[in-house]
Amino acid sequence: MKFQTFLIKYGEIGIKGKNRYMFEDALVRQIRFALKDVEGEFHVYKSQARVYVDCEGIYDCDDVTEALKRVFGIVGICPVVRAEDKGFEQLKKDVTAYMDEVYPDKNITFKVDSRRAKKTYPKTSTEINRDLGEAILEAFPEIRVDVHKPDVMLRVEVRDEIYIYSEIIPGPGGMPVGTNGKAMLLLSGGIDSPVAGYMISKRGVGLEATYFHAPPYTSERAKQKVIDLAKLVSRYTGPIKLHIVNFTDIQLYIYEACPHDELTIIMRRYMMRIAEHFAKQDDCLGLITGESIGQVASQTMQSLTATNDVCTLPVYRPLIGFDKQEIVEVAEKINTYETSILPYEDCCTIFVAKHPVTKPNVERIRKSEEKLQEKIEELFKTAVETTETMVIK
């Protein structure tokens, strides 16, 4: 069966009152973005509190559904057969043909639920329900009607054309990206940060990302891996502006001046500072990290307090209560896992102490950072100025 239209169901955004048009417009925009690389011509529009995707030319329905399944804000995707309005007798034929093809096994219960958007249609919706139901029962002896809990709810919408559909493919839920501002993701090459970005973005937040590399300690490949990860996440979130910061000099300076067991914490504090610098510059409303309590030394409650200490923007940590396995499951679902586990050195591990502090004291860390006074401002400035920026889409 060839579906010519997809009717998009959206849950939460339907209840947003006078802002609704904004949410719908964002949804339409995100759907267009998701379909830009799919073969075929697509007409995406809203009409009577619904969003439709009409397909033209050569296209594969499965490709379209796959792309739509990645658009936040979509609760369900209904593949629709469009039939020309050539009188009620023809409609009966179209509807029975639909049932025959979509449900080869007729040992099911069904109910017809019609909507008459075109009020000039000669039958009322109750009549349409009754008469089409009868036609289906006549065509297939084993099929039964159940008006309370049918296996198949056959929807028939009478518009200029007649829309027939019954399946609902679940979408990712959430809200359309761009309806909740933008946030800055600290993106490493690991498993967690792409998942964290995905989760915040699901709530309608656009993403920017900052990656820290430390040549020659980290390689061109590690950087390419992060670009690849950003690309994978962008399939859900839309374009991501990625800031690639050369962190080597700051890292070496911290190594020279500060106690080695505090290296990681101090390093992370500078990463937060730099990420926040770009976040503010680009009007991001928060920072996102992939931290989860206690996962590593730098993610204990005390360490999180110490890194939080340098930020003025809120820091969102959507994985905070997740176990590693739960994070891996999401990473596999969004297809970032395979890339994340490629074994390239990242800049967090190159000078890691054998026994890093696990319960850093904020006051002491601040004191240690005073040892950086001489050069840090200049190094910070250089790092910001030499940052490479690219838009991943």
Partner 1 sequence: MEIYLDNSATTKAYESVRDIVGKVMCEDYGNPSSMHRKGVEAERYVKDAQETFAKLLKVQEKEIYFTSCGTESDNLALIGGAWANCRAGKHLITTVIEHPAILNAMRYLEEEEGFRVTYLPVDEYGRVRLSALKQALCKETILVSIMYVNNEVGSVQPIMEAASIVKAYNRNILFHVDAVQGFGKYRIYPKKTGIDMLSLSGHKIHGPKGVGVLYISEKAKVKPIIFGGGQQKNMRSGTENVPGIAGIAQAAREIYTGLDEKVARMRALKRRFIEGVGEIEDTTIHGLYDETSAPHIISVGFAGIRSEVLLHALEEKGIYVSSGSACSSNHPSVSGVLKGIGAKKEYLDATLRFSMSEFTTQEEIDYTLESLYNCVPMLRKYTRH
**Where along the sequence are the contacts to partner 1 (CB under 8 A)?**
215-220, 252, 255, 260, 343-345, 349-354
d(CA 190, CA 342): 9
Answer yes or no: is 299 a known binding residue.
yes
Shortest spacing between CB 3 and partner 1, in angstroms: 42
Shortest spacing between CB 344 and partner 1, in angstroms: 7
Q: Which CA distances in Å does 131 have to 64, 94, 124, 304?
A: 33, 13, 11, 65
Q: Which CA distances in Å does 147 have to 98, 105, 151, 163, 364?
A: 19, 19, 10, 21, 70
Answer yes or no: is 317 a known binding residue.
no
Shortest spacing between CB 348 and partner 1, in angstroms: 10
Residue type, 315: V
With contact defined as beta carbons under 8 Å apart, do 275 and 282 qualify? Answer: no
With contact defined as beta carbons under 8 Å apart, do 26 and 176 qualify? Answer: yes
Helix (H) or strand (E) holding 390: strand 388-392
Instruction: Return the structure tokens found at 31.
Output: 């759907």
Answer yes or no: is 17 a known binding residue.
no
d(CA 125, CA 158): 9
With contact defined as beta carbons under 8 Å apart, do 71 and 234 qualify? Answer: no
Answer yes or no: is 82 a known binding residue.
no
**Smaller CB separation from partner 1, 202 or 225:** 225
Shortest spacing between CB 92 and partner 1, in angstroms: 57
Shortest spacing between CB 239 and partner 1, in angstroms: 30
Shortest spacing between CB 201 and partner 1, in angstroms: 29
**Smaller CB separation from partner 1, 18 or 355:** 355
Answer yes or no: is 290 a known binding residue.
yes
Strand duo 206-213 + 240-246: pairing: parallel
Q: Which CA distances in Å does 295 have to 47, 290, 321, 327, 343?
A: 48, 10, 10, 12, 19
**Smaller CB separation from partner 1, 106 or 260:** 260
Answer yes or no: is 232 a known binding residue.
no
**Smaller CB separation from partner 1, 305 or 358:** 358
d(CA 108, CA 101): 14
Shortest spacing between CB 285 and partner 1, in angstroms: 35
Answer yes or no: is 187 a known binding residue.
yes
Residue 128 backbone dihedrals phi, psi, to 5 degrees: -60, -45
**Smaller CB separation from partner 1, 205 or 347:** 347
Shortest spacing between CB 319 and partner 1, in angstroms: 21
With contact defined as beta carbons under 8 Å apart, do 96 and 139 qualify? Answer: yes
d(CA 71, CA 77): 11
Binding site members:
186-187, 211-212, 268, 290, 299
Binding site members for ATP:
186-187, 211-212, 268, 290, 299
